[in-house]
Structure 1
Amino acid sequence: MMDQLESRFKEVFNNLYEHIYFAPGRVNLIGEHTDYNGGNVFPCAIDIGTYLVIRKRKDRKLCFYSDNFSKLNIIELNLDDLEYNEDHNWANYPKGIFKMLKNQDMNTGFDLFYYGNIPNGAGLSSSASIEVVTALMLNDVFELKYDIIDLVKICQKTENEYIGVNCGIMDQFAIGMGKDDHAILLDTNTLKYDYAPLKLGKHKLVVTNTNKKRGLADSKYNERREECEQALSIIQEYIDVNTLGDLTAEQFESVKCHINDNLLVKRSRHAVYENIRTKKAKAALELGDLDVFGNLMNESHVSLRDDYDVTGVELDTLVKLALQQDGVIGSRMTGAGFGGCTISIVKEDLIDTFRQNVEKKYTEIIGYEPTFYIVNVGAGARKLK
C-alpha cells in the first residue's frame, strides 16, 4: 500500500511525497441516533479507511486530489479562499478542517492526495475519516499540540458549522480513538469513555452495503434530531434532565403519557432504550457472551425500524435475510440509515455461504446487488510515514 500511494502521488503531482497519514472508518455496533441525544454509543474503528499523502508547497496553493473521485481532477484553491463551494464536492471536508485550524503560522500550501477504501455514502463515515486524517496531518505538520480528543471536537464542529450536517460526535471520536480488538462505550454527553474487548473468536464482522444512493445532508437526519428535541422539551416539564440519554426506562415510562404526539413518543423511546442497550452490550462483551450481544443488535434494528423509522426496505431486507442464514449471531443497520450498510456477526467458515445466499435473495427482491466487506476491528487515526 505504501508503495502504491507513493507511486500515485508522484503520478498526480510530479513530485515526491513527504508524509502519509491514515484514519479508519467506523461501524457502530449498538447505539444509533443516541449521540446527539446525550446518550451512549458503542462503535469500533475498522481496518479500512482514508489515506492522506502530502507534500508542502512553496506557495499558498492547496491542491486536493482523490483517487476515488478522479473525474473531478485536481481541485486548486488558495489558503485565503476556504469558503464552502458546492462545486468542490468531497474537497469541502478537508477544506473545512483547514478553515477551522488555520492560524498565522499556516502560511504554506500543500499537495494533498487522498485515497479511501471505505465505500462512499455507505454509512461507514468516509467523510469523518477524511476530516480526521486532515486534522491529524495539520496538527502534526504545524505542531499545533492538540490532543486527539481536541481534534475530534474540531472535526465535529466542521461537520456541523461548515458542512451543515447536525451530527453528533460519535463518528469522529471512534475514528480518532479506536483501539485494536476493542469497541468504545462513549457517553456523548460527557465524553467519558471505556474500551470493551471485542473478541469474536470464530466469527467475523461482515458489513453489507445496500448500494442505495443516499446523501446524509439531504436525508431526514436533522428532522429526527428536531423531533427528539421536541420530545425532550415536553419531558423536561416533568423531570429534571438535560438530555434523553439521562432518562432511565422507568422514568421514561412514567412520563411518556404527557407526550401527546405518538410520533414523538416513538422517537424518544428509541433514544432512551437504545442508550440502555449500549450498556448491556458492553456488559455482554466483557462476559464474552456473543449471543446476548447479537440479540441486542437485533433489538436495536427493530427499534430503528419501528420507532425511529430510519431503515427502509433495503436495510430491512438485508437484516431479514441475514438472520435467516446459519452462523449469524446478530444483524442490524449501522450508521444514520436511509440506505447505507448493515453489520452482522457471522461464523467465519460460513461467510461464503452467507454472502451467496444474501446476495441472491437481495438482488431478486431489490433489483440490484449488495456489496460485502469483511472487516477487522482496528486502531484509530495515525501517522504512517
Structure 2
Amino acid sequence: MDSEVLKSGFLEKYGPGPVQGFFAPGRVNLIGEHTDYNGGFVFPCALSFGNYCLIRRTDRPSVRFFSMNMKFEAEVSVEDLDKPVGKEWVNYPIGVFAQFLKKGIKFERGADLLFYGDVPAGAGLSSSAALEVVTAVAVNTVFGAGLPEIELVKMAQKAEHEFAGVMCGIMDQFASAMGRKDHAVYLNCDTLEYELVPLKLDGVKLVIGNTNSPHKLDSGKYNERVRECRAAVAALQPYKVISQLADISVEEFGRLSDHIQDSTVMRRARHVVSEIERTREAVALLKTGNIEAFGKLMNESHASLRDDYEVTGPELDAMVDAAQQTEGVLGSRMTGGGFGGCTVSLVKDWAVNDFTGRVGADYKAKTGLIPEFYIAETSDGGRRIF
C-alpha cells in the first residue's frame, strides 16, 4: 500500500497534524505445523503483505480505532483498554494495549489509530498476528515504552490468548516481528532461540495457494487440538519425564505410544513428534541446497496433518492433491492452522504458469471455489516505515 494513500486516509479521518506509520508482515510457514504450542521447531518466513498502522498521540483520554478494511470503529477510554469490545476486530489492538497496562505502562492520554491490512482475510497467513505486532511496535515507539522486540512478541501472543480466545503458539507473532527479507526463521518455540536461514530457492518459486475457504481458528477445533496434545503429555509422563511433546523423540514415542489409551490423542501426538523431526531435517536439507528432498518432507507433512492431526479438510486436500500431481512441483502442503486457508508449494520456475492454471482448474472442478495464487516475496519484520 502506498504510504501517501494511507496518510491521506488518516488525515481525512482524524484531521491535520503529524502522523507516524508502521508495518508488520503476515507469514507463511514452510514446515513445522502445530508444533509451536508443543515446544517444537517451526520454519516460517515473513511476507511482503501484512498490516499497517498509522498513529498519532492526542490530548484526549481515549483511543480511537479505525480500519480501512472494516466497518466497525471504536473509541475506548484509556481506563478501559483492558476490556474487550464485543467480538469485534478492535479486540486485537485493544488486547495489545492491555498488555502494556499489565507491564505498568500507563496511558494518561490517548491516540488516534488507523489500520489497513492487505493480508487476505481468513487465509491462514496470520493477519491477526500482524495486526497485534504492528500495534505493539507502534505503541512501543510512539509512547516511548522502550520494550525489546522479544517482549513485544510475547505480549502480542498474550493478546491473542486473552482477547481472541485462541491458545496459539508463538510462531505467528515471532515471524511477524523478527522475520527478515530473503530469510526464513528456524525457531525453537520452547527456548525462543532462533536462526535466520537464507532462503535460497534457485530455480524454484514459493507459491501460496489461497483456497478461499476461510479458516476459523476460533471455532474451537484449534483449542481442542491443544487440549489433546496436553492429554498425550499427561499419558506419557508416568513413563518419561516430559512437560511437552517436544521433549520426546520419534524413537522414544514409538516405544511409549501404546501407553496413550485414546487412539485419537495418540495420533495427534504422533503428528507433532514426527513433524518436529521433519522440520529439523528440512532445515538441514535447505542449507545443503537439496530442495527436492525438502519438497518430499512437505508432502509428508501434509499427509500427517490430514491423517493424524485432521486439520486439513476437503478444500486444502483438493488443492494439495492437484499440486502434488502437477509436473514441476517439488512439494506442497497446507500452511497455517488449517480448517481452510492456504497451501504452500515449491514450484520450478518454468512450471509456475502451468501450475496456477492446472491446479486452479482442478481445484474449482472439485470444490466449486475459485482459488488465488501468490508468488511469495519475503519481508523484514515489524518496523516503522515513516
Q: What is the distance in 1 between the residues matched to 2:29 and 2:126?
A: 10
After superposition, where does 1:79-228 map in structure 2 within 5 Å? 79-82=78-81, 83-87=83-87, 89-102=88-101, 103=104, 105-228=106-229
CA deviation digits over 1:223-265, x for unaligned, max 9?
1111111111111110112211111111000101111221111
Q: SS of the residue aligned with 2:146? A: coil
CA–CA separation in structure 2 for the residues paired with 1:305 and 1:97: 34
Amino acid of the residue matched to residue 84 of structure 1? P
Q: Which amino acid aligns with 2:142?
A: V
List per-residue Cα deviations over 1:180-211 (Å, max 9, x = no partner): 11111111111111122211122221111111
Q: Is 2:281 aligned against 1:280?
A: yes
Q: Which shifted more, 139-148 or 6-15? A: 6-15
**Contact preservation (8 Å) 1:132, 1:381:** yes
Per-residue deviation, 1:26: 0.6
Match of 1:364 in 2: 365
Identify which range, 312-321 or 160-169, moves more after superposition: 160-169
Task: Return the alpha-carbon distance in structure 1 between the equivalents of residues 309 and 325 of structure 2.
Answer: 24
Aligned residue for 2:376?
375
Aligned to 1:292: 293
Q: Distance in 2 between matches of 1:219 and 1:350?
A: 38
Three-state SS of the structure 1 residue aligned to 2:46 is strand
Aligned-partner Cα distance in 2 for 1:225–1:249: 20
Shift of 1:219: 3.7
Separation in 2, partners of 1:99, 1:264: 35
CA contact (8 A) 1:48 1:375 kept: no
Q: Which consecutive residues of structure 2, in runs of 5 or more, have no partner in the other structure?
A: none
Answer whether contact 1:156 1:167 (CA < 8 A) is retained.
yes
CA–CA separation in structure 2 for the residues paired with 1:368 and 1:242? 42
SS of aligned partner of 2:80: coil
What is the TM-score normalised by the length of structure 2?
0.96
Percent identical: 48
In 1, distance between residues paired with 2:19 and 2:278? 45
8 Å Cα contact 1:105-1:142 kept in structure 2: no
Question: Is the Cα–Cα contact under 8 Å of residues 170 and 189 in structure 2 kept in the other structure?
Answer: yes
| CA offsets 1:59-97 (integer angstroms, 9 cap, x no match) | 02211111111x32x32222122311225x111100111
1:16 Cα deviation after fit: 4.0
Q: Which residue of 1 aligns with 2:233?
A: 232
On the 8 A contact 2:124/2:215 being kept in 1, the answer is: no
Residues 104, 235 of structure 1: alpha-carbon distance in 2 compared, 3 angstrom cutoff: closer
Aligned to 2:244: 243
User: Does the 8 A contact of 2:26 with 2:126 survive in 1?
Assistant: yes
Name the CA distance, whole Å, in 1 between partners of 2:284 and 2:115. Answer: 38
Structure 1: distance between partners of 2:214 and 2:52: 24
Letter in 2 for 1:166: M
Q: Residue 320 of structure 1 aligns to which amino acid in structure 2?
A: D
With 271-280 and 94-103 compared, the bigger mean Cα shift is at 94-103
| Aligned length in residues | 382
Structure 1 position 14, deviation (Å): 2.8
Structure 2 counterpart of 1:78, one-letter code: S
Match of 2:13? 12
8 Å contact kept, 1:9–1:16: no
1:94-122 Cα shifts (integer Å, max 9, x gaps): 01111111345422221111111101111
Look up the equivalent residue of 2:94 and give its one-letter code: K
Letter in 2 for 1:274: E
Secondary structure of residue in 2 paired with 1:90: coil
Q: Secondary structure at the match of 1:254?
A: helix
CA contact (8 A) 1:231 1:265 kept: yes
232-241 or 347-356: which moved more? 347-356
Residues 274-294 of structure 1: CA deviation (Å, up to 9, x unaligned)? 000111011011101111111
| Aligned equivalents of 2:302, 2:84: Cα separation in 1 | 35
What code does the residue aligned with 1:96 have? G
The 1-side partners of 2:35 and 2:204 are apart by 27
Q: Which amino acid aligns with 1:21?
A: F
Give the unaligned 5+ runs of structure 1.
Answer: none
**In the TM superposition, what whole-angstrom CA distance separates every residue of 1:310-349 from its partner, at most 9, and x where no partner exists?**
0000000010111122221111000010001101112233
1:339 aligns with 2:340: yes
**Corresponding position of 2:35:** 34
RMSD: 1.3
Residue 356 of structure 2 corresponds to 355
What is the CA–CA distance in structure 1 between the aligned matches of 2:215 and 2:35, rounded to whole Å?
Answer: 21
Higher mean alpha-carbon deviation, 317-326 vs 196-205, is at 196-205
**Higher mean C-alpha displacement, 29-38 vs 2-11:** 2-11
Could you tell me how far apart the structure 1 residues matched to 2:120 and 2:18 are?
Answer: 25
Partner of 1:309: 310
| TM-score, structure 1 as length reference | 0.96
Q: SS at the partner of 1:123?
A: coil
Which has the larger displacement, 196-205 or 146-155? 196-205
- Shift in Å at residue 163 of structure 1? 2.0
Counterpart Cα distance in 2 of 1:249 and 1:77: 50
